[in-house]
Homo-oligomer: A and B are copies of this chain.
Amino acid sequence: MKKHNFSAGPSILPGEVIENTSKAVSDLNGIGLSVMEISHRSKDFQAIMDEAVDLFKELLDIPNGYQVLFLGGGASLQFCMVPFNLLGKKAAYLETGSWAKKAAKEAKNFGEVEVVASSGDKNYNYIPEGFKIPEDADYFHITTNNTIFGTQIHEDYDSPVPLVADMSSDIFSRPVNVSKYGIIYGGAQKNLGPAGVTFVVVKEDILGKVDRMIPTMLNYKTHIDNGSMFNTPPCLPIFTVKETLKWLKKLGGVKKMEEKNREKATLLYNAIDDSKIFTGTAEEKSRSMMNVCFVMKKEYEDLSDEFLKYAQSNGMVGIKGHRSVGGFRASIYNALPLESVKALIATMNEFEECMLNN
């Protein structure tokens, strides 16, 4: 049976990316060696790194003055790297979910943290509005998509101080006005590749302003000066990222991807809104195009486990909601085909019909 992979991350990757990675693991471009066993200093790997960086810049339309890095350690390591490099006295954070909260908590080890707004009062089911970004902050940190709670910031904020964004779960899902950001970072394991590599887009002129000991590996300058090869980078994950970016380019880039994502999300949210037994958890205008969170309506709550089983028996993978929200979560990242969304909707409708008629 065909699997429909709605996992929140690590998550679905395009079929041809998987196939090309599998081939390169066996033999990279017919050189007689696996991509896993060549030196990161070899011309074969340098070509992979260069292509990944170039495609990243091209597809996200990154202006001059920015560097693209591929690092290890995960986006969680960025939670301390950002304040290590940028926090002089005070930083501002927008608290839109668990990851945003963790990022802010980490920054408190380095200086004053002002949480400009939080949606914690409603279990993070909306993106706060009307907050003021303090002009005396060293930077303002946001999490653009909240994987757990299914909310998303749908604009590029105007910020009087460098805007730092964790885009782990919506990078390359829509065009971004990069010039409005100081740093964009994220783990690859949603829209880009396998777990194990973290991208960092950093505006060079915001660095070097903090008077603090920064461990070598946590200093962005170390990695900028060495083209992400100060130490051995996560070569295989970077290869897969490069393949995903090639796929994205062939498909038409982020603008085209945004259209496809909107189509998928609209279909699914409409099905939820039309349902008698399911209901969405996020406020409508804050709804994420990447993670669709929904639950059983109160009166049908005891059907949750049954629906999960039914969905699994129909080939749906990873749709159990995070424990912080409960219910269901369909992650509909870039690589998820429209047919999987349609299959999920069909499954929801069948289940609903069956339940209401019995």
Interface residues of A (CB under 8 A from B): 1-3, 5, 7-13, 18-19, 21-23, 25-26, 31-34, 36-40, 42, 71-77, 79-80, 84, 102, 106, 109, 187, 189, 193-197, 213, 215-218, 230-237, 240, 317-318
Q: Cβ of A73 and Cβ of B75 under 8 Å apart? A: no
Q: Cβ of B37 and Cβ of A26 under 8 Å apart? A: no
CA A26 – CA B15 in complex, angstroms?
A: 9
Nearest neighbor of A35 in chain B, beta-carbon distance: B194
**Given A36-B194, A80-B218, A232-B195: A213 and B10 within 8 A (CB)?**
no
Q: Cβ of B18 and Cβ of A236 under 8 Å apart? A: no
A118 to chain B, nearest CB (A): 20
A290 to chain B, nearest CB (A): 15
Q: Cβ of B76 and Cβ of A73 under 8 Å apart? A: no
Nearest neighbor of A99 in chain B, beta-carbon distance: B231
Q: Cβ of A36 and Cβ of B9 under 8 Å apart? A: no
Q: Cβ of A8 and Cβ of B39 under 8 Å apart? A: yes
Q: Cβ of A39 and Cβ of B7 under 8 Å apart? A: yes
Q: Cβ of B80 and Cβ of A37 under 8 Å apart? A: no
Chain B residues near A22: list those with CB within 8 A: 22-23, 25-26, 34
CA A189 – CA B72 in complex, angstroms?
A: 14
Q: Cβ of B235 and Cβ of A10 under 8 Å apart? A: yes
Q: Which one of B8, B80, B232, B240 contacts A74 once the chains associate, using CB atoms below 8 Å?
A: B232
Q: Cβ of A109 and Cβ of B215 under 8 Å apart? A: yes
Q: Cβ of A236 and Cβ of B37 under 8 Å apart? A: no
Q: Cβ of A233 and Cβ of B195 under 8 Å apart? A: yes
Q: Cβ of B18 and Cβ of A37 under 8 Å apart? A: yes
CA A38 – CA B71 in complex, angstroms?
A: 21
Nearest neighbor of A71 in chain B, beta-carbon distance: B73
**Given A195-B235, A231-B74, A234-B234: A33 and B21 within 8 A (CB)?**
no
Q: Cβ of A317 and Cβ of B33 under 8 Å apart? A: yes
**Given A232-B189, A236-B195: A36 and B10 within 8 A (CB)?**
yes
Q: Cβ of B231 and Cβ of A9 under 8 Å apart? A: no
A74 to chain B, nearest CB (A): 4
Nearest neighbor of A1 in chain B, beta-carbon distance: B32
CA A317 – CA B38 in complex, angstroms?
A: 9
Chain B residues near A233: list those with CB within 8 A: 74, 195-196
Q: Cβ of A40 and Cβ of B195 under 8 Å apart? A: yes
